[in-house]
């Protein structure tokens, strides 16, 4: 790998060389879960400005996440 050769040429130790390597690809299920998590974090930020019953927040959060996922499927 080019990163390994570059790390060897520069003289990095193993720990530093690991930082240069590209992350391993993740499968679709894991990518979808990560995307949902990031959208849920954004939804929490949005909900911070919304006054509503605590019982409604999980439903609203899920609706926001679904809307964000749907928006990504729409043509620009």
Please enumerate in sequence order all residues whose Cβ is within 8 A of that of 64, keeping only pairs 6 or more positions apart, or say none.
39, 42, 43, 46, 47
pLDDT tens-digit map of 3-14:
555 545 556 666
Whether the pLDDT of residue 62 is over 90: the answer is yes
From residue 49, give the alpha-carbon distance in Å to each of 7, 36, 39: 47, 20, 16
pLDDT tens-digit map of 20-43:
676 777 788 988 899 999 999 999
pTM of structure: 0.61
Domain containing 54 equals 2-73
Most confident of 1-5, 11-15, 51-55: 51-55
Number of folded domains that form the chain: 1
Specify the pLDDT at position 25: 77
């Amino acid at each position: 790998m080019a990163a390994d050769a570059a790390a060897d040429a520069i003289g990095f130790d193993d720990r530093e060389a690991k930082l240069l390597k590209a992350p391993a690809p993740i499968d679709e299920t894991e990518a979808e879960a990560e995307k949902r998590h990031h959208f849920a974090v954004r939804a929490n930020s949005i909900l911070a400005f919304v006054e509503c019953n605590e019982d409604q927040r999980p439903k609203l959060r899920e609706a926001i996440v679904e809307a964000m996922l749907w928006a990504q499927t729409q043509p620009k």
